[in-house]
A and B are shown apart, each in its own frame.
Chain A
Amino acid sequence: MDGNIITSILFATVVAGTPLIIVALGELVVEKSGVLNLGAEGMMSVGAIAAFAVTLHSGNLWLGVGAGMLAGVAMALLFAFVALTLLGNQVATGLALSILGVGLAAFIGKPYESEVLQAVPPIRIPFLADIPVIGEALWNQQSLVYFSWILFWAVLWFLFRSRAGLVLRAVGESPSSAHAIGYPVIRIRYLATLFGGAMAGLGGAFLSVFYTPLWVEGMVAGRGWIAVALVVFATWRPLRVLLGAYLFGGVMVSQLFIQGSGLDINMPSQFLSSLPYWATIIVLVMISRNRNLVRLNAPVSLGQPFKPES
């Protein structure tokens, strides 16, 4: 394999991993507050079509990205209202959100089926991009790739260095204790959920506006679910989310590896496409084989409804 191929594989891996990082870090914050929102797939789908449509009509990329995030937030608000205010079962509510979101995106997206957006040029960081092999792969990237790295540091700092993050973790650990010492549990969970929605919407926007950039029904293709699985795989740690996302990114661009290897392997494309899903199953099995690993790291109150007595 020569350097160019390595660079292009690395480049593609980073791009494919980016939406996963953004969505999974959002979901990580949500879950740290004790809320299990399985609706990431739906929020991503709606975010993707909203961003695509607004970008197409306005011609302004960032207006589109904003619309995608806003759409994700709107979906998350729906989830929060049903699951947090009305105490609906979180698993079922998240599932409903996914079904609704995927349906809604298909519904809204029908007229946009054959439209294509202009490709967004990458941003080249001077000097860093000149590093051999990895420079072009890491430092001549889309703005949202850089954003995903900033987001990683921000989430890390927020959760483990800031007071607000401490409160958020406390709420996820024991909402009743947090309530007893006077924290507004529901409000904090709302905010976390809406942040998760914004990130899912942004992840969707990245897919439809930067990555492809076009709209096809079902284009999110389970990435929202993979992001949820990634949080479990990462045992709720941001660094492992980052590494896991690139691992999945690598799996998603596996056909590049095969081309790069120069071997003449005749493999059905469906098999290659199914690799990320198999990989998800495999990593989930690996992580759950040790029962305590998940149990010790999962936020204690994850998925349990909480209603403060008044």
Chain B
Amino acid sequence: MLRLEPRADASRLMRYLSPLIAVALMLIGGLALFAALGKDPLEGFRVYFLNPLRDLYGLSELLLKATPLMLIAMGLSVGFRANVWNIGAEGQFIMGGVAASAIALYFIESDSGWVLTGMVLAGALGGMAWAAIPAFLRTLFNTNEILTSLMLVYIAQLAVSWLVHGPMIDPDGFGFPQSKMFEDSALLPELLGGTRLNAAFPMALTALGLGYVFLQRSFMGFQMRVAGESEPAARYAGFAARRMIWVGFLAGGALAGIAGMAEVAGPMGQLTTHLSNNYGFAAIIVAFIARLNPVGIFFASLLMALLYLGGEQAQQYLGLPSSISNVFQGLLLLCLLGADVLINYRLRWKPAEAG
């Protein structure tokens, strides 16, 4: 039978290889799923994974979908480094979008360039405010941040639902639960004509660059890494745990909030209940696959964005529900967590012991 045998030293190679193994396993699982649903697996593969990439527009959509993932995953990685489990990026994303929408709607008459700047700031602050609640409860009362941040997702979803049904509803919108469309001054400028790719993409790249410096080069990033690897060592060295919880949550909240702003000021152009596409949860997977590394986040976001686009294609051409992309995402994370065993263990074939 196959046995796991501990390695003397953690394998560096496997650290980088195991995400690829996980992707391969996910693909095998996906093909099996297509087959089980009575679809030709190769056709399914083509539609799901290749169709979205066949032209420039497809590629621009890929970058567009990857943008919020990059932003959120970068922010989450800061906290995850120190074992600060902010699971509520989805809620922070929504609140960022809400705050930015409030600015856009309040200054709807204005054509000033400052509206967008104000929206970015409002988005960041909205996300940070929502993230501050679990951070505050954790630092003051030691309340488990996984559960509180997650509960705040549901609350944020209900809050945005209330807003677009009530205070922020478009009075000329025939009662549909959505806000007025934003004016041009509140929309992010497009990068490429004929595509929806907008200025949020370079913002995400900037965030990745700053994140790289923070996590890999700064002393604070080092402190967070120590706290994540070994809490007693961090306490021994005198690294303040509370500050890390705050930094982790505020970074996650700010970037998730900006991502929410980019969504309402980009492809949406207004506030609706369908503000988020589970980006907050998908970004958690991105952060794990990327090993919290900014370069990895870039590529993992593209992969995750492809899973989204593939889901849309599968809905259109294979008649499958688009939630198939969530299945792939969950599967990918499970495969990764399983494959990670190879970092510290090797597989050995051993005959079953007699006796």
A-to-B contact residues, CB < 8 Å: 38, 42, 78, 81-83, 86-89, 91-93, 95-104, 106-107, 110, 217, 221-222, 225, 228-229, 232, 268, 270-271, 273-274, 277-278, 280-281, 284-285, 288-289, 291, 294, 307, 310
B298 interface hit (Cβ, 8 Å): no
Interface string of B296-323 (1 = CB under 8 A from A): 0000000000000000000000001101
A274 adjacent to B154 (CB under 8 Å): yes
A103 adjacent to B330 (CB under 8 Å): yes
Residues of A within 8 A of B344 (CB): 87
Measured between C-beta atoms, what is the minimum distance from B89 to chain A in Å? 12
A281 adjacent to B148 (CB under 8 Å): yes
For chain B, residues 173 to 222, give those with C-beta under 8 angstroms from any C-beta of chain A: none
Selected contact of A82 from candidates B161, B284, B324, B337, CB within 8 Å: B337
B158 adjacent to A273 (CB under 8 Å): yes
A102 adjacent to B337 (CB under 8 Å): no
B147 adjacent to A228 (CB under 8 Å): yes
Q: A86-B337, A92-B288, A288-B141 are in contact. List 10 more A-B contacts (CB 8 A).
A: A87-B341, A88-B338, A93-B337, A104-B327, A106-B321, A107-B323, A107-B324, A281-B133, A281-B151, A288-B143
B246 interface hit (Cβ, 8 Å): no
A-B contact pairs, 23 of them (CB 8 A): A38-B146, A86-B337, A86-B338, A87-B344, A95-B87, A95-B284, A96-B333, A97-B330, A99-B333, A100-B330, A100-B331, A102-B330, A103-B324, A106-B321, A107-B327, A225-B147, A225-B150, A232-B147, A268-B162, A281-B151, A284-B137, A284-B143, A285-B141
B341 adjacent to A103 (CB under 8 Å): no
B166 interface hit (Cβ, 8 Å): yes
B334 adjacent to A285 (CB under 8 Å): no
A82 adjacent to B329 (CB under 8 Å): no
Question: Can you name the residue of chain A whose Cβ is closest to the Cβ of B160?
Answer: A270
| Separation of A304 and B39 alpha carbons in the complex (Å) | 41
Question: Can you name the residue of chain B whose Cβ is closest to the Cβ of A221?
Answer: B154
| Separation of A93 and B166 alpha carbons in the complex (Å) | 39
A92 adjacent to B330 (CB under 8 Å): no
| Separation of A273 and B285 alpha carbons in the complex (Å) | 28
| Separation of A92 and B291 alpha carbons in the complex (Å) | 13
Measured between C-beta atoms, what is the minimum distance from A286 to chain B in Å? 9
B-to-A contact residues, CB < 8 Å: 3-4, 6, 85, 87, 133, 137, 141-144, 146-148, 150-152, 154-155, 158-159, 161-162, 165-166, 281, 284-285, 288, 320-321, 323-327, 329-331, 333-334, 337-338, 340-341, 344-345
A274 adjacent to B158 (CB under 8 Å): yes
| Separation of A106 and B329 alpha carbons in the complex (Å) | 13
Question: Can you name the residue of chain B whose Cβ is closest to the Cβ of A101?
Answer: B330
B137 adjacent to A107 (CB under 8 Å): no
B321 adjacent to A110 (CB under 8 Å): yes
Measured between C-beta atoms, what is the minimum distance from B79 to chain A in Å? 13
| Separation of A88 and B345 alpha carbons in the complex (Å) | 12
| Separation of A271 and B146 alpha carbons in the complex (Å) | 22
Measured between C-beta atoms, what is the minimum distance from A193 to chain B in Å? 15
Using known A-B contacts A225-B147, A288-B141, determine if residue A270 contacts B158 with beta carbons closer than 8 Å: yes
Selected contact of B151 from candidates A96, A268, A277, A291, CB within 8 Å: A277
Selected contact of A91 from candidates B146, B154, B165, CB within 8 Å: B146
Residues of A within 8 A of B154 (CB): 221-222, 274, 277
Residues of A within 8 A of B326 (CB): 99-100, 102-104, 106-107
A268 adjacent to B147 (CB under 8 Å): no
Using known A-B contacts A82-B334, A221-B154, A270-B158, determine if residue A284 contacts B148 with beta carbons closer than 8 Å: yes
B159 adjacent to A110 (CB under 8 Å): no
B155 adjacent to A285 (CB under 8 Å): no
Measured between C-beta atoms, what is the minimum distance from A89 to chain B in Å? 6
Residues of B within 8 A of A82 (CB): 334, 337-338
A280 adjacent to B334 (CB under 8 Å): no
Residues of B within 8 A of A273 (CB): 158
B327 adjacent to A97 (CB under 8 Å): no
| Separation of A281 and B145 alpha carbons in the complex (Å) | 10
Residues of A within 8 A of B166 (CB): 268
Using known A-B contacts A225-B151, A281-B137, A288-B141, determine if residue A99 contacts B281 with beta carbons closer than 8 Å: yes
B144 adjacent to A97 (CB under 8 Å): no
Residues of B within 8 A of A274 (CB): 154-155, 158-159
| Separation of A274 and B148 alpha carbons in the complex (Å) | 13
Selected contact of B323 from candidates A87, A110, A277, A278, CB within 8 Å: A110
Using known A-B contacts A91-B85, A277-B152, determine if residue A291 contacts B341 with beta carbons closer than 8 Å: no
Residues of B within 8 A of A106 (CB): 321, 323, 326
Residues of B within 8 A of A95 (CB): 87, 284, 333
Measured between C-beta atoms, what is the minimum distance from B290 to chain A in Å? 13
Question: Can you name the residue of chain B whose Cβ is closest to the Cβ of A89?
Answer: B337
Measured between C-beta atoms, what is the minimum distance from A270 to chain B in Å? 4
Question: Can you name the residue of chain A whose Cβ is closest to the Cβ of B284?
Answer: A95
The 4 closest A-B pairs by CB, nearest first: A100-B330, A103-B326, A88-B337, A106-B323
